[in-house]
């Protein structure tokens, strides 16, 4: 049986349709070029996904802080919402800082102001060593207006911006030679790391050093140089760990169940929390470890409470949202037209991802716990505000990923003429010159004829007539060329017409030959 004709046509047209819709290599899809709020979708989509995931994580973190801290807050502060209210204030301040940073152009971040910010940050880190507050065997905080402030958290964003400036000047601008470039890069990262090690804060050192290393890799460092830097960094880390008995004991702790009531106390309780959560968890608010069993349940160990209340499925869903946010941030980084923007966005998200990974591995007992919070989820003012500032840097890069060219500026200056300058529309009639005048925009015929329907224009020395007010109104500033009633009239003179036919002269004869312009020269 023969196939239906419509089916044949459909099957034959399908490959052609696919060929038509396939975009050329290196081009953008039609969907990617659609505008979302005036921005191409290929740029706006990662930004929307990034912000949506960030808002979801912030809301989820606020909920988990309340769930994990309500018992302790009620016992110590007399209000179960004490930590919830403070965390909400920290998020509000952080979002304000994020929006403020997102409005700072990248050209400002690569000016001398970046080095001024770097110097101010280094002074604060030195003040921590001199007048800082001791807590938990480390000196990491200073008091400002009665509030604890941790400068090492804010040093992350400053180091990323300054390092990106140095990479830009070397790779894209070409204003630095190799020796000066390496010296500035070592000073940019080395001086803050030295002061942070002396606090001591090994976790922050690893995060900043790892982020600068990733920025160097993304910038295009040679593999030999990357290998040398990696080997030197590993050697320095081993020396720092072995130089302190406390760090060595934490690194070589072994099985936490060997000493569950001393060195392995928090690790074993965190494992028990994950185990009791099972596949789907106990439910929000039903954790038992937060009843003064697990120390810092709303801070460093909040992931254990998440695992207990939401189970494996809820924890993996939380990880998935965080992974999507990281992917969207990297997508924003690669869309930046400059190396500075790419390195700022990628360095900022690498900082957050490394801190996230270090916290998870420490809670699971894979690596020693360094006291680093879970980004956007754990309770803490300095960490929350500094992390949101990093997200403001990513947002700024996304905003500048669609630069306004000189053609866009010129296009914005174009004016749209709402009223036609060609006069009343007319339909040309026959060759003899008849025409029809249309009534306005509706196009209805208002009158027909040869001479009676056309207004008479005054005689002018130049073949121009006003257009906006009609054929005879010259008060307006615009005019039009009078092309005549009939196309044939454009080829004739108004005076005596002369024709050349085989060299002969015949006055009054028009187009005596079939030449296109009404005359012919014969040799």
Q: SS3 for 311-367, per residue?
A: HHHHHHHHHHHHHHHHHHHHHHHHHCCCHHHHHHHHHHHHHHHHHHHHHHHHHCCCC
pLDDT at 37 over 80: no
What percentage of the chain reaches a pLDDT higher than 70? 67
Question: Which residues are CB-contacts of 22 (< 8 A; sequence separation ≥ 6)?
Answer: none
C-alpha to C-alpha distance for 37 and 47, rounded to whole angstroms: 12
C-alpha to C-alpha distance for 474 and 6, rounded to whole angstroms: 61
- Binned at pLDDT 50, 70 and 90, residue 56 comes out as very high
pLDDT at 429 over 60: no
Least confident of 24-33, 216-225, 285-294, 331-340: 24-33
497: burial class by Cβ within 10 Å (0-12, 13-18, 19+)? middle
3-state secondary structure of 149: strand
pLDDT of residue 435: 47
Question: Which residues are CB-contacts of 444 (< 8 A; sequence separation ≥ 6)?
Answer: 438
Strands 147-149 and 426-428: unpaired
Q: Give the position of tokens 């669609």.
A: 402
pLDDT of residue 421: 56
- Computed on alpha carbons and rounded to an integer, the radius of gyration of the chain in Å comes to 38
Tally of CB atoms within 10 A around 49: 17
Q: Over the stretch 350-402, which tens digit does the pLDDT of each residue have?
A: 999 999 999 998 888 777 777 788 999 999 888 999 999 999 999 999 999 87
Q: What is the mean pLDDT of residues 314-329?
A: 96
pLDDT at 519 over 70: no
Bridge partner residues of 427 (DSSP): 436
C-alpha to C-alpha distance for 448 and 437, rounded to whole angstroms: 7
pLDDT of residue 17: 45
pLDDT at 522 over 80: no
Q: Over the stretch 166-196, which tens digit does the pLDDT of each residue have?
A: 999 999 888 888 899 999 999 999 999 999 9
- The crossing angle, in degrees rounded to 10, of helices 82-101 and 41-76 is 150
What percentage of the chain reaches a pLDDT higher than 90? 38
C-alpha to C-alpha distance for 391 and 399, rounded to whole angstroms: 12
Cα torsion through 487, 488, 489, 493, rounded to 10: 140
490: burial class by Cβ within 10 Å (0-12, 13-18, 19+)? exposed
pLDDT of residue 130: 87
- Binned at pLDDT 50, 70 and 90, residue 143 comes out as confident
C-alpha to C-alpha distance for 484 and 486, rounded to whole angstroms: 6
Please state the pTM of the whole predicted model: 0.71
pLDDT of residue 425: 55
C-alpha to C-alpha distance for 177 and 185, rounded to whole angstroms: 12
Under 8 Å between Cβ of 290 and 367: no
Q: What is the mean pLDDT of residues 407-414?
A: 67
pLDDT of residue 211: 93
pLDDT of residue 466: 40
- Binned at pLDDT 50, 70 and 90, residue 139 comes out as confident
Q: Over the stretch 276-311, which tens digit does the pLDDT of each residue have?
A: 888 998 988 888 888 878 888 888 889 999 999 999
- Binned at pLDDT 50, 70 and 90, residue 31 comes out as low
pLDDT of residue 87: 94
pLDDT of residue 216: 92
Q: Over the stretch 443-500, which tens digit does the pLDDT of each residue have?
A: 444 444 444 444 444 443 433 334 434 434 444 444 555 555 555 555 555 555 444 4
- Binned at pLDDT 50, 70 and 90, residue 251 comes out as low
Under 8 Å between Cβ of 336 and 397: yes
Task: Identify which has the larger pLDDT, 19 or 286.
Answer: 286
Using alpha carbons, list the distances in angstroms from residue 235 to 10, 106, 232, 249, 362: 67, 35, 5, 18, 22
Sign of the dihedral defined by the CA atoms of residues 111, 351, 209, 172, in that order = negative
C-alpha to C-alpha distance for 128 and 149, rounded to whole angstroms: 10
Q: What is the mean pLDDT of residues 411-433?
A: 57
């Amino acid at each position: 049986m023969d196939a239906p004709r419509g089916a044949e046509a459909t099957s034959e047209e399908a490959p052609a349709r696919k060929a038509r819709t396939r975009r050329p290599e290196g081009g953008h899809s039609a969907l990617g070029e659609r505008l979302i709020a005036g921005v191409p979708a290929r740029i706006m989509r990662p930004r929307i996904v990034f912000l949506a995931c960030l808002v979801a994580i912030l809301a989820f973190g606020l909920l988990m802080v309340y769930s994990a801290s309500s018992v302790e807050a009620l016992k110590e502060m007399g209000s179960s919402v004490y930590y919830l209210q403070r965390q909400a204030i920290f998020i509000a301040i952080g979002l304000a800082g994020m929006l403020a940073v997102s409005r700072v152009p990248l050209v400002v971040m690569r000016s001398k102001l970046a080095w001024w910010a770097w110097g101010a940050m280094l002074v604060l880190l030195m003040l921590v060593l001199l007048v800082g507050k001791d807590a938990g065997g480390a000196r990491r905080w200073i008091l400002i207006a009665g509030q604890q402030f941790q400068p090492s958290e804010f040093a992350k964003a400053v180091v990323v911006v300054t390092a990106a400036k140095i990479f830009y000047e070397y790779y894209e601008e070409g204003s630095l030679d190799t020796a000066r470039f390496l010296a500035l890069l070592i000073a940019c990262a080395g001086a803050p790391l030295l002061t942070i090690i002396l606090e001591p804060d090994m976790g922050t050192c690893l995060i900043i050093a790892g982020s600068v290393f990733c920025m160097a890799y993304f910038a295009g460092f040679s593999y030999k140089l990357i290998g040398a830097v990696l080997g030197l960094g590993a050697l320095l880390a081993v020396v720092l760990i072995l130089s302190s008995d406390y760090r060595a004991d934490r690194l070589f702790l072994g099985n936490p169940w060997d000493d569950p009531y001393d060195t392995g106390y928090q690790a074993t309780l965190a494992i028990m929390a994950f185990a009791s959560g099972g596949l789907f968890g106990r439910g929000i608010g039903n954790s038992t470890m937060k009843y003064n069993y697990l120390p810092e349940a709303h801070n460093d160990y909040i992931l254990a409470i998440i695992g207990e209340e939401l189970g494996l499925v809820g924890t993996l869903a939380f990880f998935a949202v965080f992974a999507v946010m990281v992917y969207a941030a990297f997508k924003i980084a690669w869309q930046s037209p400059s190396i500075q923007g790419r390195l700022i966005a990628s360095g900022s998200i690498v900082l957050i991802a490394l801190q996230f990974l270090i916290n998870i591995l420490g809670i699971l007992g894979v690596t020693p716990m360094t006291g680093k919070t879970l980004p956007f989820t754990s309770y803490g003012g300095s960490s929350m505000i500094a992390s949101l500032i990093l997200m403001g840097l990513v947002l700024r890069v996304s905003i500048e990923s669609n630069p306004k060219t000189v053609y866009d500026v010129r296009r914005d200056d174009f004016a749209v003429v709402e009223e036609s300058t060609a006069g009343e529309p007319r339909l040309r009639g026959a060759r003899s010159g008849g025409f029809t005048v249309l009534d306005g925009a509706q196009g209805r015929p208002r009158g027909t004829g040869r001479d009676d329907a056309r207004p008479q224009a005054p005689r002018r020395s130049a073949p121009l007539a006003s257009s906006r007010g009609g054929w005879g109104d010259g008060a307006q500033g615009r005019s039009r060329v009078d092309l005549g009633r009939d196309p044939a009239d454009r080829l004739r003179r108004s005076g005596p017409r002369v024709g050349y036919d085989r060299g002969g002269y015949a006055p009054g004869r028009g187009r005596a030959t079939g030449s296109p312009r009404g005359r012919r020269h014969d040799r």
